[in-house]
Amino acid sequence: MNINVTKAFLPPIEEYQKYIETIFKRVWLTNNGPLLNELELKLKEYLQVPHMLFLSNGTVAIQIAIKALQLKGEIITTPFSYVATTSSIVWEQCKPVFVDIDSDTFNIDPAKIEAAITPNTSAILATHVFGNPCEIEIIQAIADKHGLKVIYDAAHCFGTTYKGKSVFQYGDISTTSFHATKLFHTVEGGAVFTNQPDLLKKMALLRNFGHTSPSTFDGIGINAKNSELHAAMGLNVLKYADEIKAKRKEQWNYYREKLISLDVKFISITEGTDYYNASYFPILFKTEEKLMRSVEALNLQGVYPRRYFYPSLNLLNYVNPTSCPISEQTSKIVLCLPLYHDLSLEEQDMICRILLRIQNN
C-alpha cells in the first residue's frame, strides 16, 4: 500500500447511506436543498462565523469573491500558493502582481506590499499557506490606507483561529475549499465567508445565475451551487472534524519531535494564531538536490510526499514575468510529508527513519 501525501477521510458507508436515503425519498437533489441549508447552519456554528455560502468548489469561490467586489486592474498576490489563486485572478480579467513571501511563514511578505501598489491596484489576494495565518493586521492597515479590498484564499484553514476568531472572518471576503484532499471535505466543494451582509447577498445571487425569482434576474451570475449529495458528505464528515483535527495535531507534533535533528527548516506559525490546524507538514531542505534524494528514497518505499507548491506562480506562462527569489527558492526545496487521519505511528516512524538515514549517508 502506498503512502500518499494525503488521503481523503470517508465516514462509515452505512452513515452516508442514511443521508442518501433521505435524498432519494425527497427527490430534491440540488438547488438550495435542505441538506445544503443544514450544512451551512452547522458549519457556521462549528466555525463560529456569522455568514457563509457553500459553493461547488474553492476555485469558483475565489472567482465569485473577485466578481462580488467588482475588482479591476491589478491585484497584489502571493506567488507561493496553489495555481487556483493566480488563475482565478487572470480568469476574472485582472492582472496578478506578485509580492515575494516571508522565508519563515511562507506567506506574502507585508513589508513588500506597498512598493507594489500602483494607481491601478484594486485589491490584495493573499493565501494563508498551509493553514498558517498571514500578517492580517498589517495587511488590513495597508489596504485601509490605500483603499484596497482584501480577499484571503483560506483553502487550507479549516479550524484555524487567529486572535480569538476563525481566520475565515478576516478580509472583506475569505474563501475556502472543501476538496477531498483538504482536512474537512465534501468531495468537491468550497465556501465564501464575509461579515458584510451586502456582499453576502451579492454572492448568493452570483452563485445562482443572478436569479431573484424563477423568471427575474439581478445582474449576471454563474452556477456555483453544490448538491445535496455533497452536502450529505459534508454533514457526515463534520461529525468527525474534531477527531480529524486532533489526530493531525498529534501527527504534526510527532513529526516535529522525531525530525528535530533533520537538517531542514520547519514552518514558523504566525504570532496571534490561537489554534493552528496542522493541515500540512512542510519541510525545507538546504538544496533541491537534497530534496530529490530524499524523495527518491521515500518513493522506493512506496511513500509519495508532494512538492507543495511547485513551481512558484510568478513563473506561470500566462503572467507577466517578475522576480520573486524567496518564493522561487522555497518552491524548489519544500516538501510536504504525508499527513492524514489514519496515517499510523509506524508509518510516520518509517518516513522519519528514511529521511534521517539519507541525510546521514
Ligand X SMILES: *Cc1c(COP(=O)(O)O)cnc(C)c1O
Q: Which residues of this protein are in contact with ligand X, per CB under 6 A?
A: 57-59, 81-82, 84-85, 127, 153, 155-156, 177, 179, 190
Nearer CB in complex with ligand X: 212/223: 223
Nearer CB in complex with ligand X: 9/117: 9
Q: How far is the CB of 78 from ligand X (least distance, A)?
A: 9
Nearer CB in complex with ligand X: 102/153: 153
How is residue 30 written as a grid cell?
A: 440540488
Q: How far is the CB of 82 from ligand X (least distance, A)?
A: 4
Residue 32: CB atoms within 10 Å: 15
Q: How far is the CB of 47 from ligand X (least distance, A)?
A: 17
Inter-residue contact 158 to 190 (CB < 8 Å):
no
Task: Please identify the residue of the shown chain whose CB is closest to the bound ligand X.
Answer: 58
Q: How far is the CB of 11 from ligand X (least distance, A)?
A: 20
Q: How far is the CB of 157 from ligand X (least distance, A)?
A: 9
Any bridge partners for residue 216, and if so which? 213
Q: How far is the CB of 156 from ligand X (least distance, A)?
A: 6
Span between the terminal Cα atoms of the chain, in Å: 26
Nearer CB in complex with ligand X: 58/110: 58
Nearer CB in complex with ligand X: 127/174: 127
Measuring CA to CA, which residue among 151, 101, 71 is closest to residue 322?
Answer: 101
- Residue carrying the nine cell digits 448538491: 227
Any bridge partners for residue 306, and if so which? 336
With residue 176 as reference, give the H or E element that holds it: strand 173-177
- CA-CA distance, 4 to 66, in Å (whole number)? 33
Q: How far is the CB of 281 from ligand X (least distance, A)?
A: 15
Nearer CB in complex with ligand X: 203/259: 203
Q: Which amino acid is at 104?
A: D
Q: How far is the CB of 291 from ligand X (least distance, A)?
A: 20
Measuring CA to CA, which residue among 28, 23, 53, 327 is closest to residue 178?
Answer: 53
Nearer CB in complex with ligand X: 259/336: 336
Inter-residue contact 58 to 83 (CB < 8 Å):
no
Nearer CB in complex with ligand X: 135/262: 135
Q: How many CA within 13 A on the CB side of residue 68? A: 30
Inter-residue contact 330 to 284 (CB < 8 Å):
yes
Q: Which amino acid is at 40?
A: E
How is residue 62 written as a grid cell?
A: 475565489
- CA-CA distance, 117 to 122, in Å (whole number)? 9
